[in-house]
Chains A and B, each alone.
Chain A
Amino acid sequence: MTEPDRGGLVADIEVKRGSFTLAVSLEAAPGQVLGLLGPNGAGKSTLLSAAAGLTPVSAGRITLAGQVLDDADQGTFVEASGRPIGFVFQNYRLFPHMSVADNVAFSPRARGLGKQAARSAASYWLDRLGLTELAGRKPGQLSGGQAQRVALARALAGQPSLLLLDEPLSALDAGTRLDVQAELKRHLADFSGPCLLVTHDPIEALVLADRVVVLEHGRIVQEGTPALIARQPGTDYVAKLVGLNLYAGRADGSAVVLTGGGAFVIPDHGQHGNVLVAVRPSAIVVSTQPPQSTSARNTWQAKVTGLTLLADRVRLDLDGQPPALVDVTPAAVTELSLDPGSQVWLTVKATDVEVYPHNGAAQAG
C-alpha cells in the first residue's frame, strides 16, 4: 500500500455481513468530499459504519491521517467513541429528550469539555448554522431542514477530523432539499478533513462531491469526477441514474459493434477493443419515414413499446437493434401519432455518440 495521505482517510477493507461482502479500497484527501454512489444494498452504509467504528472490518485496515483506526490483521481497533469523527445519520438520530442546544453540546461534553465550555462551543456552532433561535426546541418541534442543520451542527461541534454523511438530504421534501443542499455545500467547503458522503441521488453527488465512487454489490465499479461519471457512466445503474442510453461493444476505429446487437458509426479516434457507448435520449431523432439524405450517420428501425410523460417531454421506450430511450416533445408524439407498437426510424449523429474504454469490473447491457 502507498504511504497514506497526511490527514486523509485510507481504507482497504473487507466487511462481511451474513452473505454480503463489501470489499473496497479507497482514499479521501483532506478537504475532499468523496461521494459514495450506489443502489440500496450496495454496501455504502456498511462502509460508513466501518469508518465510524460501528462495524469492525473482517479484513484489511482503515487509517486516518496515518493513524490506524481498524486493522483486522493486527487485531487493533479504535472504538467509535474514540474516533475523531462526525456522523450525520440518514434520519439524523437527534436525541429526542434533549434540546437542540444540548444535542449540539453533547459531543464537546462527551469529549471532555466542561459544561460551560461545551455550552459555548455549542452556541458557536448553533450561530454558525443559523440555529440560535431554535436552541431551546426539542427535535420533535423541528422541520426536516432544521433537523438536518442541527444534525450537521451536532456532528461538527465535536471538532471531527473525518465527516461521515449518510444520505443527508434523503429525508427532506423536494422543496427544501435544494436550499439545504446549497447550504450543506458551503459547510462542507469549510470542513478541512476528508468527508464521505453516501447518496443514491446523482444530482446530490454531482453538486456536493469532489470525486465519486460508484459501489455495486459491495464492489467499486467506477471512480472519477462527478462530471466524468455523469458523461461516461460505467454501469447500467449509473446510466439509468443520469438518464443515458448505455451499450457495451467492441470498437474498431470508426465503428462499434454492440454486444447486444446493432452497431454505431463513431468519430474515428483510433479506439479499439471493449468500449462503452453512451447516447443522450435527446440526441436521438425519431421519424416515421425512413430518413432520406441526412448527415446523421446512424439510422436504425425500432418499435415503440412504451411512452412516459416526464416534466416537459415524453420518454419513448423503443425496442430495436439496439433498444433505446428517446426524449421527444409532447407535440411530436401527437404529430407523429406515436403509440405503443408504432414502427419508427431512429437516427443519431456520430458526434453525439460518446465512446470510452470499458474497464473490466463494470457491466453494461
Chain B
Amino acid sequence: MVIRPPRPTAPSRLTARERARRAARGGASRSVPAPLLVPALIAILFLVLPLAGLLVRAPWGRIASALSGADATQALTLSLWTATASTAISLVIGVPLAWVLARTSFPGQRLLRSLVTLPLVLPPVVGGVALLLAFGRTGFVGRYLDSWFGLTIPFTPLAVVMAETFVAMPFLIITVEGALRSADQGFEEAAATLGARRMTVFRRITVPMIAPSLGAGAVLCWARALGEFGATITFAGSFPGQTETMPIAVYYALENDPDAAIALSLVLLLVSVVVLVSLRDRWLRGSPL
C-alpha cells in the first residue's frame, strides 16, 4: 500500500487574539470537539438548573418571615450546634485516630482503616440503623446504658450529634491522615533532637504544620454534619426542637409550607457556597485531599 505524503488541510480562520493566546500559552488548538462539547453542556445544565430553580422560585419578599417562624429557627439552631458539636468531637477523637493510622503500623491496620472510612460510602440510613441497633434502648450497648445509667440515647439531641459524627468524622480522618502522611517528618526528627518528647512534637510541630488540612477537614466534616439526613432521621427521629435538623425540616416543610422549605434550602445553599469558597484552594485547583 502506498501512503501519500500528507498535505496541509485547507486553512481556517485564526483571529489575531487567538494567535496571541496560543503564542502565550504555547498550546495548539483549544477548540472543543462536538462529541465532548454537547455532553459537557448537558452536564452543566443538569447541575446548574436545579440550583437556579431554587433561586428563581425563592419567595424573596417573605424570606425573613419564613425563616423567623419558630420551627425554622429551632431547626437552624439545632443544626448549627449539633454540627459544631460533632465537629468538635471529631477533632478530639478523630485527629488522634488519624495520627495512629498515619504514623504507626500494627496488624490489622488496613482493615481498621477500611472500617473507619466505611461511613464515607455507606448509605447514611444504614448507619442510622446500625446506630439504633447498637445504642437503641434494646441495642447491645444501649440496653446497659438504659438499665445502669437510665440513659436513653435515641430520639434525643445527643442522638443527632452521634449520627452526624458517625457520618462526618471519616471526612476529617482521611483529610488529616493524608496530611500527616505527606508532611515532612524531618521537622519532627529535628524537634526530637532538640529534646521534645512525642506529645510535645505532636502539639508544637505536627499540628501547626498540618493546620491547613486540619481546617479543611474540619470544615468538610462540619458541612457534612450540617447536611446529614438519613442517619439522623433513622436514629434520632424528627421531633421539632429536639431532633428536627435543617434538612429534615426542609423535607417536612415541602409538604405544608413550600416557601419555608425553599427559604431553609437557600440557607443551606449559602452555607455550602461559603464552605466551598473556604476550600477553594484545595478543591477547585484539583489538588488531592
| A interface list, Cβ under 8 A from B | 52-54, 79-83, 85-87, 89, 91, 93, 95-98, 106-107, 110-111, 154-155, 158, 164
**How many Å lie between the Cα of A282 and that of B230 in the bound state?**
85
**How many Å lie between the Cα of A106 and that of B198 in the bound state?**
14
B35 within 8 A of partner (CB): no
- A95 pairs with B187, CB closer than 8 A: yes
B14 within 8 A of partner (CB): no
Q: A106-B204, A110-B200 are in contact. Are A81 and B209 (CB under 8 A)?
A: no
Cβ-neighbour of B191 out of A79, A83, A86, A110 (below 8 A):
A110
| B interface list, Cβ under 8 A from A | 186-187, 189-198, 200-201, 204-205, 208-209, 211
- A111 pairs with B193, CB closer than 8 A: no
Minimum distance in angstroms from B64 CB to a CB of chain A: 43
Residues on A with beta carbons closer than 8 Å to the beta carbon of B194: 86-87, 106-107, 110-111, 154-155, 158
**How many Å lie between the Cα of A120 and that of B59 in the bound state?**
63
**How many Å lie between the Cα of A85 and that of B192 in the bound state?**
10
Q: Which residue of B lies closest to A92 (CB)?
A: B190
Cβ-neighbour of A93 out of B187, B197, B198, B211 (below 8 A):
B187
Minimum distance in angstroms from A186 CB to a CB of chain B: 23
**How many Å lie between the Cα of A210 and that of B253 in the bound state?**
83
Residues on A with beta carbons closer than 8 Å to the beta carbon of B196: 81, 106, 110
Residues on B with beta carbons closer than 8 Å to the beta carbon of A53: 192-193
Residues on A with beta carbons closer than 8 Å to the beta carbon of B211: 97
Minimum distance in angstroms from B210 CB to a CB of chain A: 10
Q: Which residue of A lies closest to B193 (CB)?
A: A87
Residues on B with beta carbons closer than 8 Å to the beta carbon of A95: 187, 190-191, 205
**How many Å lie between the Cα of A158 and that of B208 in the bound state?**
22
**How many Å lie between the Cα of A85 and that of B194 in the bound state?**
7
**How many Å lie between the Cα of A85 and that of B190 in the bound state?**
11
Q: List 8 A-B contacts (CB under 8 A).
A: A53-B192, A54-B192, A79-B192, A81-B196, A95-B187, A110-B197, A155-B193, A158-B194
**How many Å lie between the Cα of A164 and that of B190 in the bound state?**
12
Minimum distance in angstroms from B182 CB to a CB of chain A: 15
Q: Which residue of A lies closest to B188 (CB)?
A: A93
Residues on A with beta carbons closer than 8 Å to the beta carbon of B197: 81, 110
- A85 pairs with B193, CB closer than 8 A: yes
- A54 pairs with B191, CB closer than 8 A: no
Q: A95-B205, A97-B208, A106-B204 are in contact. Are A89 and B190 (CB under 8 A)?
A: yes
- B193 pairs with A110, CB closer than 8 A: no
6 pairs of A and B residues whose beta carbons are closest in the complex:
A107-B194, A87-B193, A110-B196, A80-B192, A93-B190, A111-B195
